[in-house]
Amino acid sequence: MRLCSVAVADFRNIRTVHIEPGERFNLLYGLNGQGKTNLLEAIYLLGNPRSFRTFRLPELVRHGERQARIYGSVESGGIENNLQLVIEAAGRKVQIDGKAVHKASELHGKLNAVIFSPDDTGMVRMGPESRRRYLDRAVYMGDIGYLHCWHSYHRILKQRNHLLKSSDRTGLDIWTEKLAETGAEVIERRLKFVAVLDTTLQKYYATIAGGSETSRLGYQPEGVISTEQGPIREELLELFKRHQRSDERYGTTTAGPHRDDLTFMLDERPLKAFGSQGQQKSFVLALKMAEMDNLHDTFGESPLLLLDDMSSELDACRNHNLMEFLTTREIQVFITTTERSPSLLEAAPHCAVFHVEDGNLTFEGN
Ligand code: ATP
Ligand code: MG
């Protein structure tokens, strides 16, 4: 998959930018606060329903303007698609080849991009919610059916919680059964995804960190030991029954896939408690690489890789390992740094270089 051209207007601090990125490596360098991450965010948004930075659409529109616009021409499987995104405070409008798109699923797979940014490492140390958000987004990217069952589950959860809060609990059993039904589908799809990623994670961790530590990704949903939807459904029903008393007391569903967590282990120990910052960063990067692999297998071609703030992320050795690996793959990569790093340019052949200043981009050559 390749982004052949991208045009951005009135998006965050970018007034107008139009570039034709290089097929392989692209370096966007500039001082702090100039618009490097903003450009990566614009690219990411072309293929994703949500930003990796914010849920609030008005933040994305340049101060004083009414709407932000992003256009991209994407080559995938020999076919070129033109994607257009208009963002306003009230909502976003997407067009593919001039035709309005109303469902998120229609955009699915049109521009796959995996981002690795400084904020991502936070998910190791933060609460389960950020890991769940990552998991849900990552599963959805490679599994179009996931969004539908995720929405169903959350719709039913809302209904059940509403009943739990009210004095009349008629119908609670029916909602509980429905919740177990859709919850089992959510869990089955998550388990499949985690099992695939766990098998490749180890390889990528070794590629980046060069060490011999064993890295594991785990997902152990509460009350569930089965991996197939039918038995998971029964186990979830049991779980909901066990928690019914406390659910009624708190007026909310206190266990289930909406509370589950991912586990990150290094040498059989929790990465959160025992991993150094560098190990945590390497782990998350390896996770993203495994995710790219999975997307490659699903779609038959690599997603874009957006590496934000590379200079601050990894040490020189790990950076070198990463670049060496990336040169062996057919991946279009966008890297942002604060300096026009000579070692990076040496490692990235034919890298297209862009200087970012005050929301403007200047092409400086390959
Ligand atoms: P760093 O190296 O510090 O990560 P960066 O080049 O990645 O910097 P960005 O995050 O891309 O910086 O851009 C930040 C700039 O964009 C800030 O100056 C911020 O004030 C500006 N900005 C963010 N949202 C808007 C908006 N809606 N309208 C105008 N400017 C905005
Ligand atoms: Mg930035």
CATH of the domain at 23: 3.40.50.300
* 38 Cα nearest atom in ligand 1: 11
CB neighbours of 365 closer than 8 A, spacing ≥ 6? 352, 353
- Helical (H) or strand (E) element with 81: strand 79-88
Per-residue pLDDT of the chain (366 residues; tens, 9 = 90+): 999 999 999 999 999 999 999 999 999 999 999 999 999 999 999 998 888 888 788 999 999 999 999 999 999 989 999 999 999 998 999 999 999 998 888 899 999 999 999 889 999 999 999 999 999 999 999 999 999 999 999 999 999 999 999 989 999 999 999 999 999 999 999 999 999 999 999 999 998 888 788 999 999 999 999 999 999 999 999 999 999 999 999 999 999 999 999 999 999 999 999 999 889 999 999 999 999 999 999 999 999 999 999 877 677 888 888 888 899 989 999 999 999 988 888 889 889 999 999 999 999 998
Q: What are 284's two structure tokens?
A: 């998350």
Separation of 309 CA from ligand 2 center, angstroms? 6
Q: Which ligand is nearest to the CA of 61?
A: 1
Answer whether residue 232 is part of any domain. yes
Answer whether residue 126 is part of any domain. no
How many distinct structural domains can be found in the chain? 2
Alpha-helical runs (H) found in 210-356: 229-242, 244-250, 271-274, 277-299, 310-313, 316-327, 342-347
Interval 201-230: pLDDT, tens: 999 999 888 878 899 999 999 999 999 999
Supply the CATH number for residue 223's domain: 1.20.1050.90
Separation of 33 CA from ligand 1 center, angstroms? 5
| Rounded alpha-carbon distances, angstroms, from residue 110 to 3, 106, 178, 240, 255 | 11, 8, 32, 38, 35
For residues 316 and 322, give the distance between their C-alpha atoms in angstroms, rounded to a whole number.
10
Same domain as 273, residue 149: yes
Structural contact between residues 198 and 291, judged by C-beta atoms closer than 8 angstroms: no
Same domain as 100, residue 155: no
Count of C-beta atoms within a 10 Å radius of residue 360:
16
Give me the domain span that covers residue 345.
1-112+303-366
Separation of 67 CA from ligand 1 center, angstroms? 17
Q: Is 34 in the pocket of ligand 1 (CB under 6 A)?
A: yes
Same domain as 251, residue 189: yes
User: Nearest 5°: phi and psi at 274?
Assistant: -115, -15
